[in-house]
Amino acid sequence: MVLNSKPTHTGVGLEILGLEPERGISSEQADCLRKLWLDAGVLVLRGVGTSPEVLLAVSRCFGELEPHPIEQFRLAGYPELILLSNEHGLTGPVYEFEGVATYGRIPWHTDLAFATTPNAGAVLRMVSRSEHGGQTAWIDTAMAWEALDTELKRRIDGLEAKYIFSPDLEGMRFNKPEGRLLSGMQHQLPDYPPVAHPLVWVHPETGRHVLNLSTLNIQSILGLEEDDSDALIQTLIDHTLQPRFQYTHEWQNNDIIVWDNYRTMHMAWGHPANETRIVQRSTIRGTTKMGRELTAPGGRAPDEPL
For position 186, what pLDDT does the model report? 60
For position 167, what pLDDT does the model report? 84
Domain count, the chain: 1
Residue 189 lies in a domain: yes
Residue 74 lies in a domain: yes
Instruction: Tell me the mean pLDDT per 10 residues along the chain, length 306.
Output: 91 97 96 98 98 98 91 91 94 94 97 96 98 98 98 97 92 94 76 95 97 97 98 98 98 98 98 98 97 69 42
Residue 293 lies in a domain: no
For position 187, what pLDDT does the model report? 64
Residue 292 lies in a domain: no
For position 1, what pLDDT does the model report? 63
Domain that holds residue 126: 4-287
- Maximal CA-CA distance, the chain: 59
Residue 194 lies in a domain: yes
Q: What is the pTM of this model?
A: 0.94
For position 301, what pLDDT does the model report? 47
For position 170, what pLDDT does the model report? 87
Residue 298 lies in a domain: no
Q: What is the CATH number of the domain that holds 226?
A: 3.60.130.10
Residue 85 lies in a domain: yes
| Residue at 60: amino acid letter | R
For position 69, what pLDDT does the model report? 77
Q: Tens of pLDDT along 19-30?
A: 999 999 999 999
Residue 296 lies in a domain: no
